[in-house]
C-alpha cells in the first residue's frame, strides 16, 4: 500500500524490490518520485505475525546507494524479442513509538492499526480510512516521514517477519488523497529474487540475463541482494485494481 497521511500532488516512478531473508522474514526496498506541499508520512502495510514486537522490523539505510534501482533496471536491457521469465508487560497505549533515522528520513514500525494513535497526528491516516480497509486489521505498518517538496526519494529498505513465509509481498494499494478507490493509476516496476527452492510464480515476469552481481553493487546493498542469483522484473502501468500483490 502506497499510502500517504496527507494529500500529495504527484507520485510516480514507483520501484519495489522483494526477496526472502532468513527465518521466514522478507526484505523490501521502495522508492518513488514524490511532490507534496507539506510534510507527510508514507505508510506501508506489512503482513506480519500477530502481536509482533515493536522492534520486529529492521530498517536498513541505502543513503550511500541511491542508484540501487537504477542499477537494478540496468539488469534488464531492452530485449530484441519479448520473453517471459520466469517485554514488556506495561500497556503501550500513550507511549510514543520508537523513531529510527534511516538515511534522509525517519521511520517507525507501527505494530497494529490501534498504535497509530501513538504517532504525531500529521503522520496518520484519517481514522475512517481503516474502516474501508478491513484486510489490514491484523497488519503492522512501516511509516516513513518525508519532507515537503518535489524529489526522488532514495530507496527505503527494511526487513520484516511474515505471517506467510511462502509469499513475497508487494505493497501496491494506493491512498493518495485520504480516500480508498477501487481502481488506481499504476506506474510501478516490481523486482524480486527467488531463494533456494522457492516457487514464486514469475511466469509473467522477465528474468535478468545476468546474475545480480554483474549489474548491482552488492557490497553497497547491505545484504539485500543475492549476487549469484538472477532477478525478475514486472512493469505495471495504467489503471488497475487497487490491491496489494503477492507471489
> What does the pLDDT look like over 37-95, one tens digit per residue?
777 888 899 999 999 999 999 999 998 999 999 999 999 998 664 444 444 444 455 56
10-20 and 183-193 as β-strands: parallel, antiparallel, unpaired? parallel
Residue (of 72, 59, 71) closest to 103 by Cα position: 59
Whichever domain contains 127, its CATH number is 2.60.250
Is a pLDDT exceeding 50 seen at residue 127?
Answer: yes
- Report how far residue 201's alpha carbon sits from residue 107's, in angstroms, rounded to the nearest whole number: 31
For residue 200 the three cell numbers come to 514464486
- Report how far residue 45's alpha carbon sits from residue 6's, in angstroms, rounded to the nearest whole number: 17
- 123 near 145, Cβ under 8 Å? yes
Is a pLDDT exceeding 50 seen at residue 150?
Answer: no
Question: In percent, how much of the chain has pLDDT > 70?
Answer: 82
Domain count, the chain: 1
Q: Which residues span the domain enclosing 142?
A: 2-6+8-86+90-246
Winning range, highest mean pLDDT, from 6-15, 111-120, 186-195: 186-195
- Report how far residue 222's alpha carbon sits from residue 64's, in angstroms, rounded to the nearest whole number: 10
Residue (of 60, 59, 62, 83) closest to 72 by Cα position: 62
- Quote the pTM value: 0.84
Q: pLDDT (tens digit, 9 = 90+) per residue, 201-228?
A: 999 999 999 999 999 998 999 999 999 9
- Considering the chain, what is the average pLDDT of its residues? 84
Position 223 scores a pLDDT of 96
Backbone φ, ψ for residue 123 (5° rounding)? -110, 25
For residue 100 the three cell numbers come to 529510527
- Report how far residue 187's alpha carbon sits from residue 189's, in angstroms, rounded to the nearest whole number: 7
Residue 222: left if φ>0, alpha if ψ -120 to 50, beta else—which one? left
Q: pLDDT (tens digit, 9 = 90+) per residue, 13-33?
A: 899 999 999 999 999 999 988
For residue 86 the three cell numbers come to 520466469
Q: CA torsion 129→96→109→3, rounded to 10°?
A: 30
Residue 238: left if φ>0, alpha if ψ -120 to 50, beta else—which one? left
- 47 near 164, Cβ under 8 Å? yes
Q: Output the CA–CA distances (angstroms, integers) from residue 50 to 71, 111, 139, 187, 218, in the order listed.
A: 36, 9, 8, 32, 33
**Maximal CA-CA distance, the chain:** 61
- Report how far residue 17's alpha carbon sits from residue 176's, in angstroms, rounded to the nearest whole number: 21
Position 69 scores a pLDDT of 96
Coil vs helix vs strand at 5? coil
Q: Per-residue confidence at 9, pLDDT binned at 50, 70, 90?
A: low
Position 200 scores a pLDDT of 92
Position 90 scores a pLDDT of 46
Please give the residue that has the higher pLDDT: either 88 or 182: 182
Q: pLDDT (tens digit, 9 = 90+) per residue, 162-172?
A: 999 999 999 99
- Report how far residue 34's alpha carbon sits from residue 43's, in angstroms, rounded to the nearest whole number: 14
Amino acid at each position: 500500500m502506497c499510502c500517504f497521511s496527507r494529500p500529495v500532488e504527484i507520485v510516480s516512478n514507483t520501484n519495489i524490490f522483494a526477496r526472502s531473508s532468513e527465518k521466514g522474514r522478507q526484505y523490501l526496498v521502495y522508492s518513488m518520485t514524490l511532490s507534496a506541499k507539506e510534510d507527510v508520512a508514507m505508510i506501508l502495510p506489512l503482513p506480519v505475525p500477530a502481536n509482533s514486537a515493536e522492534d520486529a522490523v529492521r530498517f536498513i539505510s541505502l543513503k550511500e546507494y541511491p542508484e540501487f534501482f537504477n542499477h537494478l533496471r540496468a539488469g534488464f536491457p531492452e530485449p530484441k524479442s519479448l520473453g517471459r521469465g520466469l517485554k514488556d508487560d506495561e500497556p503501550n497505549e500513550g507511549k510514543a513509538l520508537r523513531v529510527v533515522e534511516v538515511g534522509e528520513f525517519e521511520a517507525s514500525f507501527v505494530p497494529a492499526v490501534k498504535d497509530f494513535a501513538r504517532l504525531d497526528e500529521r503522520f496518520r491516516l484519517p481514522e475512517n480510512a481503516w474502516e474501508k480497509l478491513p484486510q489490514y486489521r491484523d497488519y503492522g505498518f512501516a511509516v516513513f516521514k518525508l519532507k515537503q517538496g518535489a524529489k526522488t526519494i532514495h530507496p527505503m529498505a527494511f526487513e520484516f517477519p511474515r505471517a506467510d513465509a511462502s509469499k513475497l509481498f508487494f505493497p501496491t494499494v494506493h491512498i493518495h488523497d485520504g480516500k480508498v478507490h477501487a481502481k488506481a493509476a499504476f506506474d510501478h516496476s516490481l523486482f524480486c529474487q527467488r531463494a533456494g527452492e522457492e516457487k514464486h510464480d514469475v511466469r509473467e515476469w522477465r528474468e535478468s540475463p545476468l546474475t545480480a552481481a554483474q549489474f548491482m553493487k552488492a557490497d553497497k546493498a547491505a545484504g539485500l541482494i543475492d549476487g549469484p542469483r538472477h532477478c525478475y522484473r514486472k512493469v505495471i502501468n495504467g489503471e488497475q485494481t487497487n490491491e496489494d500483490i503477492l507471489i
